[in-house]
Structure 1
Amino acid sequence: MKLPQVFFLTLFSIFLFNRANAQTKNGKISGVVLDDAKKPLDGATVILLTAKDSSVTGTKLANPDGSFIFQNLIDNTYIIKVTYIGYKNYQSGPVIVTQQKAVSLLPFNLSLAGKKLNEVAVTAQKSYVQQKIDRTVVNVGALISNTGANALEVLAKSPGVQIDADGNITFKGKSGVLVMIDDKPTYLSAANLATYLRSLPSSSLDQIELMDNPPAKYDAAGNAGVINIKTKKNTTRGFNAVVSANFAQGFYGRMDESINFNYRIDKINFFANVAYNKQKTFRRLEIDRNYFDTNGEPTSSLQDISYFRPSSNNTNIKAGLDYFISPKTTWGIVFTGNLSNDHDSSPVYSLLYGKSGELDSTINTLNTSKNKFNSKGINVNYTHKFDSAGRALTFDLDYIHNDAGSNQLFVNNTFLPDGTLTNSQTLTDNLPSTINIYSAKADYTHPLKGKAKLEAGVKSSYVNTDNAANYFNVIDNVNVIDYNNTNRFLYKENINSAYVNFNKTFGRFSLQTGLRLENTNGDGHQLGNAQKADSSFVKHYTNLFPTAYFSYNLDTAGHNVLVLSYGRRIGRPNYGSLNPFTFFVDKFTYFSGNPFLKPQFTDNYKLAYSYKSLFTVAVAYNYTTDVQNETIHKDGNVFVSTTGNIGQQKTLDFSVNTNLQPAKWWTVNLYAEVYNNTYQGEFYTGYLHQSKNTFSANGNNQFTLSKTWNAELSGWFNTSGTYGQFVSIPTGMLNAAVQKKVLNNKGSIKLNVRDVFKSFSPSGTITNIVGATATYHNFVDTQVATLSFTYSFGRLTNVPAKRDTGGADSEQGRAH
C-alpha cells in the first residue's frame, strides 16, 4: 500500500474512533478557581478523580480567568481536587456526570495556607516562571528583587534573555526579537526602545511572555521570536488602586513613582496607569584598537575612553475606558503616551600611538546632546461573544505618532604629547524624526465539535517615517552646512496579512496548525542636497509562514507531556537601518544606515518534554538566512558601524527549566541552557565563519521568613558567546532583596540590592576587521540599592476583565 493511502487511512480510522467515542463520551464538568479575594488563580492544578477508587482521570491547568473544563467524560461519579502553591488544597464532594447535561460547578475558593477565612485576604505569589505549550510566562511581581527596577532590568533576569550595555536585546542567542507591550508593538528604534523600557517601572508590569515560536495569530516579524510585556490591569468593581514610590542609589540617585487604578460602575470601566521617573546613570566604555598594514605589521594604535552620564525625566501614561453594552458586547478605547527628555555630557578621551608604541597625539572630544522622545497612541477595540462556547469576534484600530529629536555638539581638540593644541574642530547636528503608524485588524474564533477550534484573522498596517540629519561645521562661530553628511530620508511601508489557525485534541494527542500570509510593500526615498543627487528604492514581496504544534500526553493524567513544534519567521530591516545617514559618536566612530538590507528568514524546530509544568527540558534548532547583524568595517582610522546581511546563522539550543519547593518556606526556579551559534557567509574580509558554545543560567530563591517577612536571592551568569563579529566575555549578576508587609498586609516596604558584587561588565572582542583588531570593555552603573513602598487600597469584588490589546503588532519594534 502506498504511503499516501496509509496516511489517509490512518486519519480516517482516527476520525471513526473519535466519532465512536463521541457517542458515548459527552459528559462535561466545568468550573473556576478563585482565591479568598475572588480573584482567579491562573495556573492552578485541577485534578479529576474517580470517586470509587480515587484514580486520576485527567489533569488541567486553570486558564488566566481561573476557568477549567473536562470534556468527553463517561457516566460516572467524580471528585475534583485543586492545588496551588501557597494555598490549602481543595477537594469537592461527589460530582455525578450523565450524558444529558453538562455539570457547571460553583467557584472553588482556595484559602492561603496557614490562614483562616476570617483573616485579611492576601493574594499568594504565583510561580516566577510558568511553562505553557507555546510560551514561557514570567510573573514579574513574584520577585521582590524586581522592586525599583525598570522593564529592561526585569527583562535581563528572564529565562533566555540577554541585554548588552547599550540595551540591545537577544533571546536564546539570537538578535531580532520583536518586543510588544500588551500585544502591541512599540514601534521604536533599538535606542528608543531601550530608553522607553528604562523609563517603564517594574511596578507597572504584570507578566512577560517569551515566545520563541509564536502561533500564526501573531505577526511573523521577529526572527528570534516575540517578547510580550503585559502591564498591570485592575478588573474589580468600584474603585481600587496600587501606588508605589521608591528611591534608588547607584553611582547617582534615581527615583520613580507610579499609580495603577481602576474604577468600575454599572457598564462603565475606567482604568489608568501613570508612572514618572527621574534618573541619572553612568557608564564608562574603553575601546582599544590596533592598526596594521597589508603585511600585518603594526602601524598605530588607539585607546578610546568614553564617559556617559545621561540624566532623564520620563512620564508614561496609559488610560482607557470600557463600555459593556451587554454581557456579550464590549467597546473600548485606550490612550497611551510617553514623554522622555534627557541630557548627556559624554566626553571622549582618545590616545593615538605610533607603531612603536610612542604617544603621537591626544584628542579630547566634548559630546553634549539633548534628546527628546514623545509617543502618543490611541486604540479603539470591539469584542463580541456570540455564545458561551467561545465563538467570538474582535477588531482593533490603532494610530501611533512618534516624535523624536536630538541636538548634539561635538568639539574635537587635538594636542601633541607636550600639550600643544594643533587642531580644533566644532560640529553640530540636528536630527528630527517622525513616525506615523496606522493599523487595523480583525480576529474570529469558532469552536468546532470534537474538541476543536478554528481561528482566522486579517490585518493591514501603514507606516510613514521622516528622518532628517542636519550637520553643520562651526567656523568662526558661523554654522556651515556639511553637505557630505546632511540628508533627509522618507520611507513608507504597507503590510497586509491574513491567517488561519486550527487546533484539535485526539485523546492524548493535541494538534495545532496555522498558516499566515504577509504581503510587504516598501518605498524609500533619500532626498538630495546641493552636492548629492536623490536616490530611491521600491520593494515588494509576499511570503507564507506556517506554524505547527504537536503534543502527546505520555500518561492519562497528563503529567508527562511531549511537544514538537515548527515555525517560520521573518526579520524585516528596521526603518532607521535602511536610512543611509551617518551618526557621529566621536572622531573615530560613526554609525551608518544601509538601504540595501534584505529581510532575513528563520526556520524554528523544537522538541520539549514537561512534567506537571514543574520541569521542562527542550532542544531547539534554528536556521536563518540573510542574517541581519551589526557589522564593523574600517575607513582609514575610523570604525564604521552598520547593519548588514552576513550570510546564514545556525543555532542549536538545549535548555532546562524547573520549579522546586525544597521546603514550605523555600521555593526555587532554575533555568539553564547551552547553545551553539554558527555564522557563515560573505563578509568584508571575504568569508566569515565563526562558531562558539555558550552556557547561560539564571535562578532565584524565595524565602518566607514569617507571615510578614520575605527574602530573595537571585542571579544569572553567561559564559563567552559569539554574535556575528562580536565575541563576548563571561559576565553575570547577583541580586538580594527583603520585604516587610505592613498596614494589614495592604502595604509593603522592600529593600533590593542589584549586582551585589558589581560583576556585570559587558566586554569582548570585535573580529574580522580588515587591517585592525579591537576590544571593548564596559563599566556599568548596575550596583544599585533601592528602598520602595507600595500600598493597595480599594474594593475586591471581581468583574470580567477588560480587553486592551491592539493591532499594531510588529511595526513598532522596527522604527529605527
Structure 2
Amino acid sequence: MKFVQVLFLTVFTLFVFNFAYAQSPGAKISGSVLDGAKRPLDGATVILLTAKDSAVVHTQLVNADGSFAFQNLKNNTYLIKATYIGYKNYLSGSIVVSDQKPVSLPAFILTPTGKTLKEVSITAQKSYVQQKIDRTVVNVGALISNTGANALEVLSKSPGVQVDADGNITFKGKSGVLVMIDDKPTYLSATSLATYLRSLPSSALDQIELMDNPPAKYDAAGNAGVINIKTKKNTTRGFNAVVSADFARGHYDRTNESINFNYRIDKVNLFANVAYNGQKTYRRLEIDRNYFDTNGNPTSSLQDISYFRPTSNNTNIKAGADYFVSPKTTWGIVYTGTISRDHDSSPVYSLLYNNTGGLDSTINTLNTSKNHFNSNGINLNYTHKFDSTGRALTFDLDYIHDASGSTQQFVNNTFLPDGTLTNSQTINDDLPATINIYSAKADYTHPLKGKAKFEAGVKSSYVNTDNAANYFNVIDNVNTIDYNNTNRFLYKENLNAAYVNFNKTFHRFSVQTGLRVENTNGSGHQLGNAQKPDSSFVKHYTNLFPTAYFSYNIDTAGHNVLVASYGRRIGRPNYGSLNPFTFFVDKFTYFSGNPFLKPQFTDNYKLAYSFKSLFTIAVTYNYTSDVQNETIHKSGNVFISTTGNIGQQKTWDFSVNTNLQPTKWWSVNLYAEVYNNNYQGAFYSGYLNQSKTTFSANGSNQFTISKTWSAEISGFFNTSGTYGQFVSIPTGMLNGAIQKKILNNKGNIKLNMRDILHSFSPSGAITNIVGATSTYHNYLDTQVATLAFTYSFGKSTNTPQKRDTGGANSEQDRAH
C-alpha cells in the first residue's frame, strides 16, 4: 500500500511538472506591505488592476513577512491596491510590464486611519480565523470572550476542535492530535497535557495553528494532525510590555495574572512572559453500571457519584534572548518553565443494588491527593540567511526535564443498608515520574528560479522515562507494600528523521510535495518486585510519510481556488500506555497498560474550495489502521481501562468556514462540519462495528459599538458522536463579552461570561462491554464570569515573531 501511494505521488507530480513547464511563463511583479514602523502587515490584501479600466486581474493575501508576488503576467500597464483593516488604502502608480521582465517595487507603507500629530492610534484587528493553504490560523486575542480563559478553553472554541470533560482533545472527529507549543512538543500524557493547558492563561497566547495535514517538515506523529499553540513574543526596539490581571467567579473564585515584555537594544533582544493562575474548580461525575449474566438477566447494578474540587496554583515562565550577530545571522536561547501544585479531597458515594433492584450495600470513599509537576526546558537556536532570496539555514538544540509526582490516599468504608459498617480499607500510593528529552534538528531552505523552493532537514531525538507506582495497604496505621500493584517502568526511545520538500507555482497552478522518513527504536523494561518477575520488550521500525498539495486558481483574479492534498501520519503509543502493570483508580475502576500496542497509521485525503479567502468548503477522508483507542472491559464488577488496537477507522468530513461582515460594525465567523466515524475490528466482545454521523458548529459575532466599546457573542454545539466504544450526547455552550478601551486606548477592561446557559455537560455511554452497560454524566464548573484588566506600555507589541521553532516536535504528547 505504501509503495503504491509513493509511486502514485511521484508519477502524478512528474506529470504535473511536465504539463506546467509546457506553459509559457510571464512576467513578475513583487513587493511588500508594511506599516509605519516597517513591520509586515500579515493578512493585508493586494489587488492587481489594469491601469486602463481598473479591472481586477488578481487578488492575494501577503505572506507573513509582508511580501507578495504576482506571477506570469502579460505585457501591460498595471496598478496595485493594498488594503488592511484599520489602515488607509494604498494605490500605487502605473507599473509597466514589458518583455516579460520582473518588476521589484519599493515597500508599500500603510498608515492607520486614526492618526494625530502626537501618536498613531492603531485600530486594526485581525480576523478571528484565517485560512492558509496548509493550515487554519486562529488569532486568540480577536475574541473578547477568550479573556480570562485558559489555553484548553480557548482550544475548545477553535474550528473543528472538541475537548471533553477530562481534557482529551479531538480534531475533526479524531483523537491522537499532536499538540505543540511554539513548534515544540509538550512531552506530556493526555492527563498532564490537559493540566498544563488549564494552567496556561489566554493572555500568554498569540495564535493557534490547526493543521489536519501538516507539511513534511513537521514530525509525522499525530494521526489527527497538529495543533500548534504560539505564545506571544516580539522584537520591537526599546522596552514594551503588556500586563494583565483578572478575577473570575464560577462555583469558586479564580485569578490569572501575567506580564509579557521585551527589551531590544542594538544587537540584543530580551523577552519574557510570566503567568500565574490560582483556581479552585468543581466537577460532579455520575456513573451508572448494570451487570448481566450470560443469558442477559440482570445480576447487580452500581450508581457512583463523585465530587472533585481541586485547588491548583500554576506558574509558567518563558524567557530568552536573541543576539543579532549580523543582519543575516541570529543566535537565540529560550528557557521555558512550569511549576504546578494542586490538591483535592474527592468524596465518592457508591450504591450497589442486587438483581431485584434492592440496595445491597453502600461504599463511601474519600480520595485525597497532592500533585506536583515541574518542567524545565532550554532551547538553543541559530538562523543564518545567506542572501535576500530567502536561502536560509536554521538549527535547534533542545533539552527538557519533567518531574511529576502524586501522593494519594483512598479510604473505603462499606455499609449495609441499615448503616452497619462491614469493611474499612485504606490504600496509600506514591507515583513519581521523570522524563528527559534531548533533541537536535536542522532545516535548510533554498529558493529556485521560477518561484520554486526546495527545503530539507534532519532530526534526531532521545527520550528516557522513569515511572514508578508504589502502593501500600494500610493496616493498623502501618503501610504494607501491595506487590500486585507496585511497579516501576523504564522506557527509552530514539527517533531519527529526514525530509525533503519542494514547491513551485506555474501560472494558475501550484504544487508542493514532500517526503519524510522516520526511524524509531524503543525499549521498555518493567522492573520486578518480590512477587512479580521482570519483563521487557524492544521495538524497531522505519516508515515513509509522503505529503502533497495541489492548488488551482479557477479564474485569473484568483478569487476561486481549488486545493487538493494528501498526507500520511503515524500515532505512536504513549509511553505510559506501554507500561504493562495495573494502576488503581478507585475500588471499581483500574487502568492497565499494554506493552503490545502497535503504532497506528492514517492516510488523509482532502479537497477544498475557497472564494476570496472569505468562504471555504472542504471534504476530507481519513483511513486509520491499527487504531489506538481507550477500551473498557470488566473483570467481576471492576471496569478495566486500557489502550488497545481496535481495528480500523474511516472518517468522512464535510466542513464550511466563512468570514462575513454584514455591516461596518458587525463581523461574523462561522464554522460547521458534518463527519461520520466508523470503527471496525476485533474486540473483547468479538467484533466492534460502530458508526455515527455528527454535526458540529461554532461561531462568533463581533460588534463595534463605538471607538472604545465593543461586544461579542460566541458559542458552539455538537450533536451525538462516537469515539471507539464511547458514544457522546449533544452538548453546547453560549458565551458573551463586552470590552471598554481606556487610558488612551492603551488599557482595556473586559467583562466575559462563559457558558451563559450552563449547557456544557459532556456525557454519554460506553458500549460493547460483555455482561454490562454503562453511562456517565458530568456537571462542570464552566459557567464563569470574568472581569479583566489589560494595560500596554512602551511601543506597540503587535509585531511578528522571529522564530519559535525547536527540535522536539512530537515526543512530549506521549509522555506519562
Common fold: TM-score over 0.5: yes
What is the rounded CA distance, in whole Å, between the counterparts of 1:276 and 1:732 in structure 2? 29
Find the counterpart in structure 2 of residue 32 from structure 1: 33
Find the counterpart in structure 2 of residue 105 from structure 1: 106
Q: Secondary structure at the match of 1:490?
A: strand
Question: How big is the shift at 1:38?
Answer: 4.9
What do residues 276-298 of structure 1 show as CA deviations (whole Å, max 9, x unaligned)? 00011000000000000111100
Q: Secondary structure at the match of 2:121?
A: coil
What is the rounded CA distance, in whole Å, between the counterparts of 1:502 and 1:517 in structure 2? 15
Find the counterpart in structure 2 of residue 485 from structure 1: 485
The one-letter amino acid paired with 1:188 is L
Cα gap change, 1:66/1:16 in structure 2, threshold over 3 Å: closer, same or farther? closer
The one-letter amino acid paired with 1:389 is T
- Verify the 8 A CA contact 2:702 2:712 in the aligned structure 1: yes
Find the counterpart in structure 1 of residue 282 from structure 2: 282
What do residues 337-356 of structure 1 show as CA deviations (whole Å, max 9, x unaligned)? 00101001111100001111
Question: How big is the shift at 1:123?
Answer: 4.1
What is the rounded CA distance, in whole Å, between the counterparts of 1:439 and 1:13 in structure 2? 40
Find the counterpart in structure 2 of residue 582 from structure 1: 582
What do residues 350-371 of structure 1 show as CA deviations (whole Å, max 9, x unaligned)? 0001111111110011100000
Find the counterpart in structure 1 of residue 558 from structure 2: 558
- Verify the 8 A CA contact 1:28 1:72 in the aligned structure 2: no
The one-letter amino acid paired with 2:107 is L
What is the rounded CA distance, in whole Å, between the counterparts of 1:644 and 1:12 in structure 2? 43
Find the counterpart in structure 1 of residue 346 from structure 2: 346
2:160 matched to 1:160? Answer: yes
More divergent stretch after superposition (82-91 vs 752-761): 82-91
What do residues 162-193 of structure 1 show as CA deviations (whole Å, max 9, x unaligned)? 00000000000000000000000000111110
The one-letter amino acid paired with 1:362 is T
Find the counterpart in structure 2 of residue 423 from structure 1: 423
The one-letter amino acid paired with 2:632 is I
What is the rounded CA distance, in whole Å, between the counterparts of 2:679 and 2:798 in structure 1? 52
Q: Secondary structure at the match of 2:145?
A: helix
- Verify the 8 A CA contact 2:112 2:123 in the aligned structure 1: no
What is the rounded CA distance, in whole Å, between the counterparts of 2:417 and 2:618 in structure 1? 58
Cα gap change, 1:293/1:494 in structure 2, threshold over 3 Å: closer, same or farther? same
- Verify the 8 A CA contact 1:171 1:224 in the aligned structure 2: yes
List aligned pairs for 1:213-224, cutoff 5 A: 213-224=213-224
- Verify the 8 A CA contact 1:39 1:798 in the aligned structure 2: no
Question: How big is the shift at 1:16?
Answer: 4.9
Q: Report percent identity of matched pairs.
A: 82
What is the rounded CA distance, in whole Å, between the counterparts of 2:120 and 2:16 in structure 1? 55
Question: How big is the shift at 1:117?
Answer: 7.5
The one-letter amino acid paired with 1:189 is S
- Verify the 8 A CA contact 2:89 2:110 in the aligned structure 1: no
The one-letter amino acid paired with 2:485 is N
2:27 matched to 1:14? Answer: no
Cα gap change, 1:93/1:8 in structure 2, threshold over 3 Å: closer, same or farther? closer
What is the rounded CA distance, in whole Å, between the counterparts of 1:455 and 1:631 in structure 2? 41
The one-letter amino acid paired with 1:621 is Y
Find the counterpart in structure 2 of residue 697 from structure 1: 697
Find the counterpart in structure 2 of residue 205 from structure 1: 205
- Verify the 8 A CA contact 2:52 2:77 in the aligned structure 1: yes
List aligned pairs for 1:751-790, cutoff 5 A: 751-790=751-790
Q: Secondary structure at the match of 2:813?
A: helix
What is the rounded CA distance, in whole Å, between the counterparts of 1:401 and 1:792 in structure 2? 33
- Verify the 8 A CA contact 2:436 2:464 in the aligned structure 1: yes
- Verify the 8 A CA contact 1:469 1:581 in the aligned structure 2: no
The one-letter amino acid paired with 2:242 is V
What is the rounded CA distance, in whole Å, between the counterparts of 2:302 and 2:12 in structure 1? 66
TM-score (normalised: structure 1): 0.97
Question: How big is the shift at 1:246?
Answer: 0.3
Question: How big is the shift at 1:77?
Answer: 2.8
The one-letter amino acid paired with 1:358 is G
Cα gap change, 1:58/1:775 in structure 2, threshold over 3 Å: closer, same or farther? same
List aligned pairs for 1:570-719, cutoff 5 A: 570-719=570-719
Q: Secondary structure at the match of 2:247?
A: strand
Find the counterpart in structure 2 of residue 808 from structure 1: 808
Question: How big is the shift at 1:772?
Answer: 0.5
Cα gap change, 1:16/1:734 in structure 2, threshold over 3 Å: closer, same or farther? closer
Q: Secondary structure at the match of 2:777?
A: strand
What is the rounded CA distance, in whole Å, between the counterparts of 1:665 and 1:556 in structure 2? 32
What is the rounded CA distance, in whole Å, between the counterparts of 1:38 and 1:788 in structure 2? 32
What is the rounded CA distance, in whole Å, between the counterparts of 2:647 and 2:639 in structure 1? 21
Find the counterpart in structure 1 of residue 246 from structure 2: 246
Over the residues paired in the alignment, what is the CA RMSD in angstroms? 1.9
What is the rounded CA distance, in whole Å, between the counterparts of 2:396 and 2:13 in structure 1? 40
What is the rounded CA distance, in whole Å, between the counterparts of 2:462 and 2:376 in structure 1? 16
Cα gap change, 1:264/1:9 in structure 2, threshold over 3 Å: closer, same or farther? closer
List aligned pairs for 1:353-368, cutoff 5 A: 353-368=353-368
What is the rounded CA distance, in whole Å, between the counterparts of 2:20 and 2:374 in structure 1? 56
Find the counterpart in structure 2 of residue 532 from structure 1: 532
What is the rounded CA distance, in whole Å, between the counterparts of 1:338 and 1:196 in structure 2? 8
Question: How big is the shift at 1:88?
Answer: 3.4
- Verify the 8 A CA contact 2:413 2:423 in the aligned structure 1: yes
- Verify the 8 A CA contact 1:718 1:732 in the aligned structure 2: yes
Q: Secondary structure at the match of 1:194?
A: helix
Find the counterpart in structure 1 of residue 139 from structure 2: 139
What is the rounded CA distance, in whole Å, between the counterparts of 2:385 and 2:16 in structure 1? 32
What is the rounded CA distance, in whole Å, between the counterparts of 2:22 and 2:580 in structure 1? 62
Q: Secondary structure at the match of 1:768?
A: coil
More divergent stretch after superposition (679-688 vs 89-98): 89-98
The one-letter amino acid paired with 2:48 is L
What is the rounded CA distance, in whole Å, between the counterparts of 2:146 and 2:12 in structure 1? 52
- Verify the 8 A CA contact 1:111 1:117 in the aligned structure 2: no
Question: How big is the shift at 1:796?
Answer: 4.0
The one-letter amino acid paired with 1:267 is K
Aligned length: 808
- Verify the 8 A CA contact 2:181 2:231 in the aligned structure 1: yes
- Verify the 8 A CA contact 2:605 2:622 in the aligned structure 1: yes
2:178 matched to 1:181? Answer: no
Find the counterpart in structure 1 of residue 498 from structure 2: 498
- Verify the 8 A CA contact 2:490 2:525 in the aligned structure 1: yes
TM-score (normalised: structure 2): 0.97
What is the rounded CA distance, in whole Å, between the counterparts of 1:162 and 1:15 in structure 2? 41
- Verify the 8 A CA contact 1:37 1:121 in the aligned structure 2: no
2:406 matched to 1:406? Answer: yes
More divergent stretch after superposition (427-436 vs 99-108): 99-108
Cα gap change, 1:394/1:302 in structure 2, threshold over 3 Å: closer, same or farther? same
Cα gap change, 1:521/1:7 in structure 2, threshold over 3 Å: closer, same or farther? closer
- Verify the 8 A CA contact 1:433 1:466 in the aligned structure 2: yes
Name structure 1 gaps, 5 residues minimum: none
2:205 matched to 1:226? Answer: no
Question: How big is the shift at 1:66?
Answer: 2.0
2:544 matched to 1:544? Answer: yes
What do residues 34-66 of structure 1 show as CA deviations (whole Å, max 9, x unaligned)? 2x5654321111111121221223222111222
- Verify the 8 A CA contact 2:234 2:797 in the aligned structure 1: no
Find the counterpart in structure 2 of residue 394 from structure 1: 394
The one-letter amino acid paired with 1:515 is L
What is the rounded CA distance, in whole Å, between the counterparts of 2:474 and 2:419 in structure 1? 23
The one-letter amino acid paired with 1:17 is A
Name structure 2 gaps, 5 residues minimum: 1-7
What is the rounded CA distance, in whole Å, between the counterparts of 1:29 and 1:399 in structure 2? 41
- Verify the 8 A CA contact 1:237 1:799 in the aligned structure 2: no
Question: How big is the shift at 1:675?
Answer: 0.3
What is the rounded CA distance, in whole Å, between the counterparts of 1:797 and 1:635 in structure 2? 58
What is the rounded CA distance, in whole Å, between the counterparts of 1:262 and 1:576 in structure 2? 38
Question: How big is the shift at 1:235?
Answer: 2.0
- Verify the 8 A CA contact 2:38 2:109 in the aligned structure 1: no
Cα gap change, 1:11/1:640 in structure 2, threshold over 3 Å: closer, same or farther? closer
Cα gap change, 1:88/1:559 in structure 2, threshold over 3 Å: closer, same or farther? same
Cα gap change, 1:16/1:680 in structure 2, threshold over 3 Å: closer, same or farther? closer
The one-letter amino acid paired with 2:459 is K
Question: How big is the shift at 1:634?
Answer: 0.4
- Verify the 8 A CA contact 1:322 1:802 in the aligned structure 2: no
Question: How big is the shift at 1:797?
Answer: 9.2
Find the counterpart in structure 1 of residue 3 from structure 2: none
The one-letter amino acid paired with 1:804 is D
Find the counterpart in structure 2 of residue 312 from structure 1: 312
Cα gap change, 1:581/1:555 in structure 2, threshold over 3 Å: closer, same or farther? same
2:255 matched to 1:255? Answer: yes
Question: How big is the shift at 1:108?
Answer: 2.2
